[in-house]
């Protein structure tokens, strides 16, 4: 069982800060989705706040959310790359899936386990 005292302390500090008028300056991000563009690639990533996810026991929620978002973001990332190509004359290769699944294994191994 996770120790909730740290989370409770954090929430109390955030509430105190809100009472002092700093409501917009403090927040916690439990889950993010990003599209990253580099000179050679475009990719989509999801990431969960590991500590918060563990503290509230939301590991299953994170897996479910990632599974729901991945197909949508794959399509949207492709559309975004097409817009980039149209505007700037860029082109990106479709990622090749390995038949053995080694790419997914390495991504999970090197990506920390909560990235999708």
Give 50-108 as a DSSP string.
Answer: HHHHHHTT-HHHHHHHHHHHHHHHHHHHHHHHHHHHHHH----PPPPPPTT-HHHHHHH
pTM beyond cutoff 0.95: no
In this structure, is the dihedral angle defined by the CA atoms of residues 97, 101, 107 and 110, taken in order, positive or negative? negative
What are the tens digits of pLDDT across the range 44-102? 999 999 988 998 999 999 999 999 999 999 999 989 888 888 888 766 665 555 555 65
**Residue 93 backbone class (left: φ over 0; alpha: ψ -120 to 50; beta: rest):** beta
Cα–Cα separations (whole angstroms), residue 46 to 23, 52, 111: 26, 15, 11
CB atoms inside a 10 Å sphere around CB 44? 19
């Amino acid at each position: 069982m996770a120790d909730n005292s740290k989370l409770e302390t954090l929430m109390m500090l955030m509430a105190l800060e809100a009472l002092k008028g700093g409501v917009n300056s403090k927040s916690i991000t439990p889950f993010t989705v990003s599209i990253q563009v580099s000179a050679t690639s475009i990719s989509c990533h999801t990431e969960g706040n590991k500590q918060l996810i563990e503290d509230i026991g939301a590991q299953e929620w994170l897996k479910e959310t990632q599974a729901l978002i991945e197909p949508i973001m794959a399509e949207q990332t492709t559309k975004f790359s097409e817009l980039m190509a149209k505007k700037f004359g860029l082109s990106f290769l479709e990622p090749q899936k390995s038949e053995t699944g080694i790419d997914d294994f390495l991504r999970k191994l090197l990506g920390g386990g909560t990235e999708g």
